Amino acid sequence: MKYDVIILGAGLSGLAAGIRLALFDKKVLILEKHVEVGGLNSFYTRKQRTFDVGLHAMTNYTPKGVRTSPLGKLLKQLRFRHDEFRLCPQEMSEIRFPGKALRFTNEFEFLEQEIAEQFPSQIDGFRKLVARIREFDELNLDDSQRIPSREVLEACLTDPVLIDMLYCPLMYYGSASEGDMDFYQFVIMFKSIFMEGFAKPVGGMPYILKLLVDKYQGLGGELRMGAGVEAIEHKDGALQSVHLENGETLTADKVISSAGAIETLRLCRPAVIEESNLETGQMSFMESIFVLDRLPKEIGYDKSIVFYSTEPRFKYRVPSGLTDVTSGVLCCPNNFQYPEPSSEGVIRLTNQANFGLWDGMTRSDYRAAKKEYRERGVNALLTYFPDFSDHIIYIDSFTPKTIFKYTGHLNGAVYGSPTKIKSGRTPVKNLFICGTDQGFLGIIGATLSGISMANLHILQAEAKSETGRN
Amino acid sequence: MTREQVRQAILNIISDIAPDEDLASIKDEEKLRDQFDLDSMDFLDIVMELRKRFNLEVPEKDYQELVSMASSVEYLFPRLKDNELVS
Ligand SMILES: Cc1cc2nc3c(=O)[nH]c(=O)nc-3n(C[C@H](O)[C@H](O)[C@H](O)COP(=O)(O)OP(=O)(O)OC[C@H]3O[C@@H](n4cnc5c(N)ncnc54)[C@H](O)[C@@H]3O)c2cc1C
């Protein structure tokens, strides 16, 4: 039996691509290695509590009625009503650096006002930067032009602290590369965080994933769990078949893979040389989840998300030690505008981490180190926030090693390779990539990536339309 | 299908691809793009739905005929009149 399309991975991009194809009666099969759907944004259960792996906040939040935003487009393409996502906007977030704090909400003017007050000499430059961002076409799928963001920022702003404060959330929520990011990526992230905003769905990722899986299967899409792909066979550069770890062979006209660019090319048989031109991603994170005996607000944690640095200059790079606690992201999932307050208080803490060092440890060292770096992380937080140690009733932490184990992304690189393949094309004809390494990141970004690759390479190719970009 | 049914068929498609829209207020002469911010991806969906539901191919040079409800009915009626209305 031959499929029209086989998709590797039931993460957000794979599920979204699957829905698009199933909508138009394609015979489509999603193969997922893991036993749960969701990939980088899945969920897991410990001691009867369900935790989201990735979800701090969904970026790109726009309210119902905004049709031209990424979220508006995504809802239409997957045919959901806005209400079905049950999104609850954030309350207020913050960027904290020594002696400086910039608060922001889902209203962009609020941040502008904060900058005018905290950095009066920079506000004109900031407005100039915003004008550049507004006029930039970040969704163009043409790869040729590369502009380092730092150049653009330094042409507009002169205060390095403000530059770092703006970079901090954008890097943490979407930079595959260390040090700087490409300007198109900066624009995507700036819009998704500052101009659009944060929200969380009632029911977390399990709810959103179920919505996607139900829609996909309701349309006749097939999904196989625990079905890892071991090899993608091609002949003279043209796709032949897909081999599963259990020995089965499947065939399809086209394959879309969300496993990552290099990860996908490594599955190709015979080997594809182009692999060596791609950089492997390095940026990964350690994350701790603290369940509290009260709500974060009751102990002085009143923001939705805080991006902080305890040093005046912010660094985004693979740390030389296991985990770098001098900067991080603090998320209080309770501080979103839920219709009903959640029963338990939770604080999540994310720090940059080094995959190689975490991966190289023995089991007992690994456990001890997790505890140690979690404590160091909490101690660093005390620079700005009250101690919450006495209120912790449950703790869980995961590291780059965990992320690699469950998603297969090399180095546990959450945002994949620094080199994005915007066209989604690979050296193998009829094999395409979507998701993390195609260039749109985060929950909404990955979903849009799946949609746009299914449109471009299957649906539009068939309709022979030249709509090109989307 | 009658003209009215062709119009209904198009309405059904739009309400499927843009489930948040209130289509009761649709103005037949006005551009769909302007009324509902439909973009090229949405028009592609309309074309693909026509193929799926009525086995009708709309060649790319004719996409412009779908610009408003009125022009769509004008264009589609002769092509769909022998079809049955499906949801
Ligand atoms: C700790 C953490 C926090 C995050 N926080 C946020 C956040 O707050 N907001 C936000 O918007 N985004 C966040 N993200 C990012 C977001 O989760 C990702 O960008 C997005 O989920 C990527 O989706 P994807 O479909 O591209 O890839 P993936 O989710 O990785 O999907 C790939 C899938 O392919 C499967 N697979 C791999 N190899 C094979 C194979 N050989 N055969 C079969 N299946 C295979 C994997 O198991 C996986 O399920 C976070 C991520 C992490 C890890």
Closest CB to B44: pick one of A75, A79, A467.
A467
Helix (H) or strand (E) segment spanning residue A119? none
Q: What is the model's pLDDT at position A406?
A: 87
Distance CA A283, CA A110 (A): 31
Q: Is the pLDDT of residue A274 over 70?
A: no
State how far residue B31 is from chain A, nearest Cα, in angstroms.
Answer: 16
Between chains, do B48 and A24 touch, taking CB under 8 Å as contact? yes
CATH class of segment(s) B3-80: mainly alpha
User: In this complex, is the C-beta atom of A73 within 8 Å of any C-beta atom belonging to chain B?
Assistant: yes
Q: Report which protein residue has its CA nearest ligand 1's atom 19.
A: A442
Instruction: Give A470's pLDDT tier (boundaries 50, 70, 90).
Output: very low
Average pLDDT of the residues of chain A? 93
**Stretch among A21-25, A48-52, A111-115, A394-398 having the lowest mean pLDDT:** A48-52
Q: Which of residues 366-425 of A touch B (CB under 8 A)?
A: none
Percent of chain B with pLDDT over 90: 84
Q: What is the model's pLDDT at position A464?
A: 62
Q: Is the pLDDT of residue A468 over 50?
A: no
Q: What is the model's pLDDT at position A465?
A: 44
Q: What ipTM score was computed for the predicted complex, to two decimals?
A: 0.92
Domain ranges of chain A: 2-84+203-278+418-469, 107-196, 282-407
Helix (H) or strand (E) segment spanning residue A469? none
Q: How many CA atoms lie within 13 A of A419 on its CB side?
A: 10
Between chains, do B39 and A73 touch, taking CB under 8 Å as contact? yes
User: In this complex, is the C-beta atom of A66 within 8 Å of any C-beta atom belonging to chain B?
Assistant: no
Q: Which of B26, B20, B14 is nearest to B70 (CA)?
A: B26
Of A20, A24, A67, which to mutate for an interface test with B (greatest number of B Cβ within 10 Å)? Answer: A67
Domain ranges of chain B: 3-80
Q: Whole-prediction pTM value?
A: 0.94
Residue range A335-361: mean pLDDT, rounded: 94
Residue A104 has phi, psi (to 5 degrees) of -150, 155
Strand partners, A289: A348, A396
User: Which superfamily is assigned to A2-84+203-278+418-469 in CATH?
Assistant: FAD/NAD(P)-binding domain (3.50.50.60)
User: What is the DSSP secondary-structure string of A287-312?
Assistant: EEEEEESS-GGGGT---SEEEEESSS
pLDDT digits (tens, 9 = 90+) for A155-166: 999 999 999 999
Closest CB to A470: pick one of B19, B36, B40.
B40
Q: Which residues of B touch A71 (CB under 8 A)?
A: none
Q: What is the model's pLDDT at position A466?
A: 38
Q: Is the pLDDT of residue A126 over 70?
A: yes
Q: What is the model's pLDDT at position A467?
A: 39
Q: What is the model's pLDDT at position A139?
A: 74
pLDDT digits (tens, 9 = 90+) for A275-315: 667 889 999 999 999 999 999 999 999 999 999 999 999 99
CA of B27 from ligand 1 middle (Å) equals 43
pLDDT digits (tens, 9 = 90+) for A423-439: 999 999 999 999 999 98
Closest CB to A465: pick one of B17, B42, B44.
B44
pLDDT digits (tens, 9 = 90+) for A316-345: 999 999 999 999 999 999 999 999 888 799
Q: Which two tokens stand for residue B32?
A: 């769909």
pLDDT by residue for chain B (87 residues), tens digit each? 999 999 999 999 999 999 999 999 999 999 999 999 999 889 999 999 999 999 999 998 999 999 999 999 999 999 998 888 776
Residue to mutate (ligand 1; options A85, A232, A245, A258; most atoms within 8 A of CB): A258
Helix axes A123-135, A149-156, angle to 10 degrees: 140
Q: Which residues of A touch B17 (CB under 8 A)?
A: 76, 79
Q: Are A458 and A5 in contact (CB under 8 A)?
A: yes
